[in-house]
């Protein structure tokens, strides 16, 4: 060890106290091992400092990501590296990797993943959410049924506006499973109010097993569905996944033929260009022409 280095017990104790005061637990834990490497000449003083700070920074970054994932309600973590692109050749891998650069969040765009059940829509939506959290973006994930349930409860309790503001805060809102469960009466109107509030102010990712032409049936109101698509397709990226279920790949022969033959959903149709004149009322059908 160089004679210019003063690593006496008194100096080490002072460093430990400083690390405790600075709330650097990982650096404190790694200190003794780093000092031993320094004394044995394995690393220089600058490398020792660099290693000490890197250990602490890694811990804090992992803690930040863990907290962000919990706040995003991304309980099941999926990654792009874990997605089998070879099983879904209809997908453009480069296009998905471009989305992972997260430029669509800054542009407040809506990404739609459309396809039959089991084709990877939720996996890709979640993976993009994970990438956003890693990049320091705020994210919130929920199913359409849960989202409308929360909005309906807020409306009954007289705090709908506050709840909508809550869902407008995340930079990225992911709404999964559109079309899987019937939407409760008035649910389409509630979802429209949220979409309208986020329109051009925040990015969204939506997954659905139903084509856009079927959204009138999904939401129980063709007028509300048209108004939704007017906002959701204005600044949009539509990813159509055509393929069979990844989850059922090993049991495809057990599926009835009429189910296998309906593997694809109706391709998305462009929403008609509409002239907006306000938003639908909170209760009851929307006025025509919205």
Return the CATH number at 161: 3.40.50.300
Higher pLDDT, 26 or 277: 26
Q: Kindly write down the DSSP assignment for every residue of 177-242, as one continuous string.
A: EETTSPPPTTHHHHHHHHHHHHTTTSEEEEEESS-GGGHHHHHT-HHHHHHHHHHHTTTEEEEE--
Looking at the fold, whether 236 and 117 belong to one and the same domain comes out as yes
Looking at the fold, whether 44 and 160 belong to one and the same domain comes out as no
Q: Across all residues in the chain, what is the average pLDDT?
A: 86
Looking at the fold, whether 45 and 93 belong to one and the same domain comes out as no
Using 50, 70 and 90 to split pLDDT, how confident is the model at 1?
A: very low
* pLDDT, mean of residues 259-267: 45
Q: Among 23-27, 138-142, 196-200, 243-247, which stretch is predicted with the lowest mean pLDDT?
A: 243-247
Looking at the fold, whether 132 and 234 belong to one and the same domain comes out as yes
Q: Name the domain count of the chain.
A: 2
Looking at the fold, whether 45 and 140 belong to one and the same domain comes out as no
Q: What is the DSSP letter of 83?
A: -
Tokens in use for 205? 């990712």
Cα gap 27→55, rounded to integer Å: 6
Coil, helix or strand at residue 141 = strand
> What integer pLDDT is reported at residue 8 of this predicted model?
75
Residue 208 β-bridge partners? 114, 178
Cα gap 132→176, rounded to integer Å: 16
- Count Cβ atoms within 10 A of the Cβ of residue 84 and give its class: 0-12 exposed, 13-18 middle, 19 or more buried: exposed
Looking at the fold, whether 94 and 144 belong to one and the same domain comes out as yes
- Per the CB < 8 A criterion, the answer to whether 27 and 53 are in contact is yes
Answer whether residue 279 is part of any domain: no
Residues 218-245 pLDDT 10s: 999 999 999 999 999 999 999 999 866 5
> What integer pLDDT is reported at residue 87 of this predicted model?
86
Looking at the fold, whether 190 and 249 belong to one and the same domain comes out as yes
Q: Which residue from 41, 49, 31 is spatially nearest to 1, judged by alpha carbons?
A: 41
Tokens in use for 6? 């003063």
Strand order in the sheet with 172-178: 139-143, 172-178, 203-208, 110-114, 236-240
Coil, helix or strand at residue 173 = strand
Residue 236, CA atoms < 13 Å, CB-side half-sphere: 22
Cα gap 77→215, rounded to integer Å: 29
- Per the CB < 8 A criterion, the answer to whether 154 and 163 are in contact is yes
Looking at the fold, whether 129 and 227 belong to one and the same domain comes out as yes
Longest dimension (CA), the chain: 85
> What integer pLDDT is reported at residue 7 of this predicted model?
65
Residues 26-85 pLDDT 10s: 999 999 999 999 999 999 999 999 999 999 999 999 999 999 999 999 878 899 999 998
Looking at the fold, whether 239 and 206 belong to one and the same domain comes out as yes
Could you tell me the residue range of the domain that residue 34 belongs to?
9-71
Coil, helix or strand at residue 176 = strand
Tokens in use for 34? 């780093």
- Per the CB < 8 A criterion, the answer to whether 151 and 160 are in contact is yes
What sign does the dihedral 274-279-285-288 (CA atoms) show? negative
Q: Among 187-201, 222-236, 253-267, which stretch is predicted with the lowest mean pLDDT?
A: 253-267
Cα gap 251→102, rounded to integer Å: 36
Cα gap 197→192, rounded to integer Å: 8
> What integer pLDDT is reported at residue 6 of this predicted model?
59
Q: Which residue from 142, 211, 152 is spatially nearest to 176, judged by alpha carbons?
A: 142
Looking at the fold, whether 199 and 91 belong to one and the same domain comes out as yes
Looking at the fold, whether 61 and 138 belong to one and the same domain comes out as no
């Amino acid at each position: 060890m160089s004679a210019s280095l003063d690593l006496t017990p008194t100096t080490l104790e002072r460093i430990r106290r400083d690390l405790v005061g600075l709330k650097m637990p990982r650096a404190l834990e790694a200190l003794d091992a780093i000092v031993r490497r320094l004394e044995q000449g394995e690393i220089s003083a600058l490398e020792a400092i660099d290693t000490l700070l890197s250990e602490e920074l890694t811990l804090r970054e992992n803690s930040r990501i863990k907290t962000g994932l919990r706040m995003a309600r991304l309980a099941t973590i999926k990654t792009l590296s874990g997605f089998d692109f070879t099983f879904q050749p209809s997908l453009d891998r480069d296009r998905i990797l471009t989305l992972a650069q997260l430029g669509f969040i800054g542009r407040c765009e809506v990404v739609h993943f459309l396809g039959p059940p089991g084709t990877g829509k939720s996996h890709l939506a979640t993976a993009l959410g994970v990438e956003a959290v890693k990049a320091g973006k705020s994210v919130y994930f929920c199913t359409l049924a849960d989202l409308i349930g929360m909005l309906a409860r807020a409306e009954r309790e007289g705090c709908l506006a506050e709840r909508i503001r809550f869902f407008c805060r995340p930079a990225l809102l992911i709404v999964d499973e559109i079309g899987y469960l019937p939407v409760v009466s008035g649910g389409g109107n509630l979802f429209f109010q949220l979409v309208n509030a986020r329109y051009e102010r925040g990015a969204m990712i939506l997954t659905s097993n139903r084509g856009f032409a079927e959204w009138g049936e999904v939401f129980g109101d063709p007028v509300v569905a048209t108004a939704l698509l007017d906002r959701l397709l204005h600044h949009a990226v539509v990813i159509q996944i055509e393929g069979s279920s990844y989850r059922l790949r090993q049991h495809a022969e057990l599926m009835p033929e009429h189910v296998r033959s309906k593997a694809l959903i109706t391709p998305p149709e462009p929403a008609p260009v509409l002239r907006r004149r306000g938003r639908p009322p909170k209760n009851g059908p929307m006025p025509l022409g919205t």
